[in-house]
């Protein structure tokens, strides 16, 4: 009996160690800036090159930031990765309709509905890769809005937001990153993370 059990165990181990013919090698996805992916065009990749940010291929309608004069900060984070949280915070805090963050948050495009208004640093990356994304208004004074709030120290009010000048010739030659009144309508380009 012991011998039969030993033989069955060895056969069982032998079959479990055999390579199956249908075991295909795992394909490693690689992405590059400018690739079409998940509803838009990749314009930023993190260090792993497996995750990043995608821009919609066209601008959304122009709109204001909203919440002019709020006395507590809503979304001051400018860093890459903060646009989604900034957008959610703006949507939750602002009762105004048709503001930039709400337009992006409500967008359903190419099978995806998790679009957001980019943070200031995300918008800077979008500017740097505007040629591969395409479709931007680059005329003089063409400014795009971010989800990042600008708070001038000592004012007690959050009247401004960060914007980026995408014009071929910038309005202020020394800088493309500007701050402007939240009630000024600017271009919007929705983005999403992958």
DSSP secondary structure code for residue 99 in this structure: B
Residue 96: strand, helix, or coil? coil
Residues 6+ apart with CB under 8 A from 18: none
pLDDT of residue 155: 67
Cα separation, 137 vs 130, in Å, equals 10
Show the tokens assigned to 101: 């963050």
Question: Is residue 174 over pLDDT 90?
Answer: no
Overall average pLDDT of the 132-141 stretch: 95
Per-residue model confidence as pLDDT tens digits over 39-78: 999 999 999 999 999 999 999 999 999 998 787 889 999 9
Task: Report pLDDT digits (tens) over 94-125.
Answer: 999 999 999 999 999 999 999 999 999 999 99
The whole-angstrom separation of Cα 5 and Cα 26 is 36
pLDDT value of residue 25: 64
CB 149 within 8 A of CB 74: yes
- pLDDT on residue 5: 45
Q: Say what the pLDDT of residue 8 is.
A: 47
At 175 the pLDDT is 87
pLDDT one-digit tens code per residue, 33-50: 999 999 999 999 999 999
Higher-pLDDT residue of 24 and 185 is: 185
Residue 86 has pLDDT above 90, yes or no: yes
Flag whether pLDDT at 7 surpasses 60: no
Compute the Cα dihedral for 137, 101, 64, 77 and give only its sign.
negative
192 in Cβ contact with 116 (< 8 Å)? yes
Give the pLDDT band of residue 30 (cuts 50, 70, 90): confident
Residue range 135-144: mean pLDDT, rounded: 95
Helix (H, G, I), strand (E, B) or coil at 61: strand
Q: Look up residue 46 and give its two tokens.
A: 């993190």
Name the band, by pLDDT with cuts 50, 70 and 90, for residue 24.
low
């Amino acid at each position: 009996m012991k011998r039969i059990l030993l033989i069955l165990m060895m056969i069982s181990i032998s079959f479990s160690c055999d390579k199956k013919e249908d075991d295909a090698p795992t394909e490693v996805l690689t992405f590059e800036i400018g690739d079409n992916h998940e509803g838009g065009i990749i314009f930023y990749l993190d260090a792993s090159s497996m995750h990043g940010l995608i821009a919609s291929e066209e601008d959304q309608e122009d709109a204001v930031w909203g919440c002019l004069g709020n006395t507590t900060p809503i979304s001051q984070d400018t860093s890459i990765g903060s646009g989604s949280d900034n957008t959610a915070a703006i949507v939750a805090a602002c009762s105004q309709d048709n503001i930039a963050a709400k337009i992006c948050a409500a967008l359903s495009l190419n099978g995806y509905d998790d679009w957001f208004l980019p943070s200031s640093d995300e918008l800077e990356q979008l500017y740097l890769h505007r040629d591969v994304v395409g479709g931007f208004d680059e005329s003089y004074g063409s400014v795009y809005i971010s989800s990042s709030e600008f708070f001038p120290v000592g004012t007690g009010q959050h009247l401004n937001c960060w914007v980026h000048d995408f014009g071929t010739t910038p309005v202020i030659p020394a800088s493309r990153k500007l701050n402007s009144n939240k009630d000024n309508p600017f271009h919007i380009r929705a983005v999403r993370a992958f």
